[in-house]
Amino acid sequence: MPRVKRGTKRRDKRKKILERASGYFLTKSKLYQAAQEAVQRGLKFAFIGRKQKKRQYRSLWIVRISAACKLNGISYSQFVHGLKLGGIELDRKILADIAVNDAAGFSALVEQAKAALPVAA
């Protein structure tokens, strides 16, 4: 077998890592091993962040809907239950948008949800 020194492949790989690490503090942007560790750590957090973003938006929508529900005299859980019983299938993103931008429309939804709830004895 002939000897292979991997010159261009190795250089390209290192160059890619160092380019990703540009802007990092001190040796993390200059030295390959430190840069490699920092880039790998950054990619790990980026992956985790993409998952957390979805959770955080859902949480924000729920807070907005809940605040609008309180203004209309109903709890969030009762509102969502009433919508489900009333056959209104709007997701939380749309409900939050309506709550923020269209108070009258949200009030109409609250009334429909209240009407669909069973009357407590």
Structure pTM? 0.80
Which numeric CATH code is attached to 7-116? 1.10.1900.20
Q: What CA–CA distance (Å, rounded) separates 55 from 63?
A: 12
Q: What CA–CA distance (Å, rounded) separates 7 from 5?
A: 6
The pLDDT score that the predictor gives to residue 3 is 86
Mean pLDDT of 7-15: 91
Q: What CA–CA distance (Å, rounded) separates 92 from 111?
A: 17
At residue 111, does pLDDT exceed 90?
A: yes
- Distances in Å between the alpha carbon of 41 and those of 26, 32, 34, 108? 16, 14, 11, 49
Q: What CA–CA distance (Å, rounded) separates 112 from 35?
A: 58
The pLDDT score that the predictor gives to residue 45 is 98
Residues 22-76: tens digit of each pLDDT? 999 999 999 999 999 999 999 999 999 999 999 999 999 999 999 999 999 999 9
Mean pLDDT of 103-111: 97
Mean pLDDT of 74-86: 96
The pLDDT score that the predictor gives to residue 119 is 79
DSSP 8-state class, residue 119? P
Please give the structure tokens belonging to residue 80.
């969502």
